Amino acid sequence: MFITKFTITNKILKNIGIIEASREVILNSPLIPAWEAKFRKEAIERTIHHGTHLEGNKLSEEEVIDVLEGREVIARERDIQEVINYRNVLKFIDEISSKIGAGTPYFLTIETLLEIHRITTERILAPEQSGQFRSKQVVIKNTKTGTISYTPPPAAEVPYLVEDLINWINSDECKDVHPVVKAGIIHYELARIHPFVDGNGRAARAVATLILFLDGYDIRKFFSFEEYFDSNPMDYYLTLQAVSNQLVLDIHERDLTPWIEYFVEGVAIELNRIKERVRKISLDSHVKDKLGEQVELNERQMAIMEYLHRHSKMMNKDFRKIFPDFSDDTVLRELRFLRKKGLLKKVGGTKRAIYILK
């Protein structure tokens, strides 16, 4: 029977409060459809880049975007495949969570976990290892020193440990746990059990994301907590290992509090950042009130508006920073459109013009 031990500390409560406040703003901020699509696209790109980079993938964020958009990238084949696979994992969990939107009840199953792993490791692991629990003992080593930092449970115990965890996830007891805390527990447990020979981190984070989605915490699918983990990978791995290596007589006595504090803080930081960005570019309400219409902006127009929100002003010399592949005439045409709609104004002559939000 799965039992978890943790304490709801003041730090956890504070960050849950930030999460709830940020979630409320994000869910209720009016955004034109083009902005919403842009936010979701960027969240997917960030999730894939940081989720794979955290595991040693060498592709830059720009190269990841190139792979996702079908452009040729000269890089290690495995790195490219990991990006493609993780995109397919996100599609898979999105399809599952969409069933909830249609009113279809759903419970997490072992088959879903195995399928997530199969997609994660397709064409990376041998077919007999992809989507299958490990059949041998593995250890986690420090790549620089060769020192063993963690030894997961024996392979023979893996199916039973996973089954206990899945049963807990689907239990009435688990329903009372806050979705973010629950996602953190599940992430930790899958990392601790280490059910696969490879791809455990990506699978654990994907399942944690799925759990948030299933509990109604998709938050418009604007977020990527992988970016927080990847900002300081040492903290991420050391926090996981510190909990797993606690000297206790029974695994149920392990105190998950330090990990949950870390996990919840990461979600709070990410959602607060998204909240501030959404708040700044939530144009729909005041544009409709002001103009009596909803303005559909294209990608270039959105990029201009976002730049102005971040930097307050824009000059001709900034054109190349934002649009290296477009002519000045094209940029000026987009600026004229935004001026005509009353969203920004021009100060000064043509060559020394400064564009600011109106």
Q: What is the CATH number of the domain that holds 74?
A: 1.10.3290.10
Q: Are residues 59 and 180 in the same domain?
A: yes
pLDDT over 80 (residue 294): no
pLDDT per position as a tens digit, 227-282: 999 999 999 999 999 999 998 888 889 999 999 999 999 999 999 999 988 887 76
Please provide the average confidence, as pLDDT, over all residues in the chain: 90
In a domain, 132, yes or no: yes
Residue scoring higher pLDDT (312 or 144): 312
* Residue 194 annotated among the catalytic residues of the structure: yes
In a domain, 209, yes or no: yes
- Final residue of a domain: which of 226, 257, 288? 257
Residue scoring higher pLDDT (168 or 35): 168
Confidence (pLDDT) at 311? 82
CATH number reported for the structural domain that contains residue 316 in this entry: 1.10.10.10
Domain count, the chain: 2
In a domain, 189, yes or no: yes
Global confidence as pTM: 0.84
pLDDT per position as a tens digit, 74-90: 999 999 999 999 999 99
In a domain, 268, yes or no: no
Which is it for the CA torsion 111, 116, 117, 119, positive or negative? positive
What is the end-to-end Cα distance of the chain in Å, rounded? 61
pLDDT per position as a tens digit, 95-128: 998 887 655 667 899 999 999 999 999 999 999 9
- Average pLDDT, stretch 287-298? 59
Q: Are residues 304 and 213 in the same domain?
A: no
pLDDT band, residue 68 (cuts 50/70/90): very high
Q: Are residues 253 and 324 in the same domain?
A: no
Q: Are residues 310 and 249 in the same domain?
A: no
pLDDT band, residue 295 (cuts 50/70/90): low
Residue scoring higher pLDDT (311 or 289): 311
**Nearest CA among 77, 220, 61 for reference residue 69:** 61
Catalytic residue among 194, 252, 309, 311: 194
- Containing domain of residue 179, as a range? 32-257
Task: Return all residues near 323 (Cβ < 8 A) that are at least 6 apart.
Answer: 300, 303, 330, 331
Q: Are residues 164 and 62 in the same domain?
A: yes
